Amino acid sequence: MSFIVSRAFLEAYKANKLRKFLSKSKGVSELIDFQNYYVFRGIGITTCIIQFQKIKKSKALHFYKLLADTLESYDLGTILDDPRIFEHIKFDQKKLGESPWSFASGAKANLNGKIDGNGDALDKVLLVGQGMATGRNKAFGEISLGEILSWHLKPRNFIKRASNSDIQRYFIQDRHEFIIYPEDVARFEQLPKGIQRHLLMHRNLLKERAAYKRGNCEWWKYSWPLHKECYKRKKIVCPYLATQNRFAPVFNNEFISLTDTTVLFENGQPESLEYLLALLNSQLLTFRFRNIGKLKGGGIYEYFWNSISKLPIRRINFSDPAERAFHDKIVALVKRMLRLHGQLSKTKTPHQQDFVKRQVKDVDQRIDSMVYQLYSLTPEEIAIVEGRKEPIGLQARTPKTGARQIRRKTVESLKAKRPAHAKSGTGAKSRKRQMR
């Protein structure tokens, strides 16, 4: 018996109970995942076919993943076994559970396990949270610079907003939209007169918010100022929806992000936020996230707290001079990347922009190369990450100055100090690294 259903249950956080039920029944014999392809025209839902075995319990689940974003024929009996169209993975039923069902072939599954085994979950390193909830963005936001100046506001009363589409890799596209920030004021009368007049215009709508009706907020304040106590900290933000990892720094409280973003707050970790930014924006962790996050369709993934928190972060042993030097070298590259993006936003001629973009690309490749080394990837594994058939040597992608010596020392240090790790879940590895 088969059903065609939304594929969301495969990875959705709220489908844990359903996956647990299905895994206990052991009746799922086949899954056909159409990934980004929309089977039903005009319906924006990506689907999969799930087949149940009625009597005999199957020990293996046959998983078929569509490789392209198009499908010329619906004759599954003919095309399902064509490796150019579908990837076929045979998966042990015993490994299914309530965790997201992210199926990977042998080489990719082993690589995912290796990446996980070389790091600690992100929520063990940073405080993973969400952007603030106003309950009525239009009432508090879309404020112009002219209004800010005419109201004679103090910096504590307003802040620039960074929305989902503004957040890019390593920088935030500033569209000069300001948002009123009333959370540091105890009484409405203490707000500047301009803000008072503006909010009074929206008072009826603000009182319609569910949080106000429940008594959880005052009518003129945000409905849920999440992690307000942490907003003075340095942080990293990313959009809720994206086709690739896009993490940007907010080190000087210049921007605030709302509920269309995820926020990673500094949490007393020894590693620099620049170092963590490099890992999060790397090709390696983008690759890893695609077997963690929920695919919505059109190549878009949900970067919610529950999935981002699982990204494996390679910790640094700062008592080891080679590891400390490697960390500092990555930090220096990220600082250069941030400066380059600052320059890029100010350049005007196409020639100048091309020149800076080439530098950005070079720094990006150097960071990727160092991240591969941190996680001890082989040339063959790098080829898997980058989607290439033929591996290339690490040497061609490694920064020249002192890189060979740093790489050798780092790899030797890792081999000598890395503790054994155990398998868990659906093949992912985890361990707790002891810092010296």
133 and 235 share one domain: yes
Is 217 contained in some domain?
Answer: yes
Per-residue pLDDT of the chain (436 residues; tens, 9 = 90+): 889 999 999 988 888 899 999 888 778 889 999 998 888 888 888 999 999 887 655 678 899 999 888 888 888 888 898 989 999 988 888 888 888 888 888 888 899 999 999 999 999 999 999 999 999 999 998 888 888 888 888 888 899 999 999 999 999 999 888 999 999 989 999 999 999 999 999 999 999 999 999 999 999 999 999 898 998 899 999 999 999 999 999 998 889 999 999 999 999 999 999 999 999 999 999 999 998 998 887 889 999 998 999 999 999 999 999 999 999 999 999 999 999 999 998 888 999 999 999 999 999 999 999 999 999 999 999 999 998 866 665 444 444 444 444 444 444 444 444 444 433 444 333 333 333 3
Q: Residue 403 has what pLDDT? A: 41
CA 259 from centroid of its chain's CA atoms:
15
300 and 384 share one domain: yes
Is 225 contained in some domain?
Answer: yes
**What is the distance between the alpha carbons of residues 177 and 150, in angstroms, rounded to a whole number?**
15
Secondary structure letter of residue 392 according to DSSP: -
Please count the helices (runs of H) and the strands (runs of E) in the chain: 15, 19
Domain that holds residue 17: 2-103
178 and 285 share one domain: no
Q: Which of 369, 295, 288 lies closest to 8 in space, CA to CA?
A: 295
404 and 298 share one domain: yes
- Of 268, 294, 320, which closes a domain? 268
**What is the distance between the alpha carbons of residues 72 and 392, in angstroms, rounded to a whole number?**
34
Q: Which of 45, 32, 38 lies closest to 87 in space, CA to CA?
A: 32
Is 423 contained in some domain?
Answer: no
Is 171 contained in some domain?
Answer: yes
Is 156 contained in some domain?
Answer: yes
Contacts 24+ apart (CB under 8 A), 19-27: 19/96, 19/97, 19/98, 19/99, 19/100, 19/101, 20/97, 20/98, 22/96, 23/93, 23/96, 23/97, 23/98, 26/57, 26/58, 26/93, 27/52, 27/53, 27/54, 27/57, 27/58
365 and 297 share one domain: yes
Cβ contact 51:30 at 8 Å: yes
Q: Is 13 helix (H, G, I), strand (E, B) or coil?
A: helix
Q: Are strands 300-302 and 241-242 parallel, antiparallel or unpaired?
A: antiparallel
What is the number of structural domains in the chain? 3
137 and 193 share one domain: yes
330 and 395 share one domain: yes
Is 142 contained in some domain?
Answer: yes
* Number of other CB atoms surrounding residue 397 within 10 Å: 18
Q: Residue 57 has what pLDDT? A: 59
81 and 139 share one domain: no
142 and 264 share one domain: yes
346 and 324 share one domain: yes
Q: Which of 87, 80, 252 lies closest to 162 in space, CA to CA?
A: 252
- Of 70, 103, 136, which closes a domain? 103
Q: Which of 401, 408, 432, 410 lies closest to 324 in space, CA to CA?
A: 410
Is 81 contained in some domain?
Answer: yes
What do you get for the CA distance between the two ends of the chain, in Å? 56
Q: Kindly write down the DSSP assignment for every residue of 106-142, as one continuous string.
A: HHHHHHHHHHHHTSEEGGGTSEEEE-BB-S-HHHHS-
302 and 383 share one domain: yes
**What is the distance between the alpha carbons of residues 203 and 122, in angstroms, rounded to a whole number?**
40
207 and 317 share one domain: no
Is 433 contained in some domain?
Answer: no
The dihedral sign for the CA sequence 316, 109, 50, 95: negative
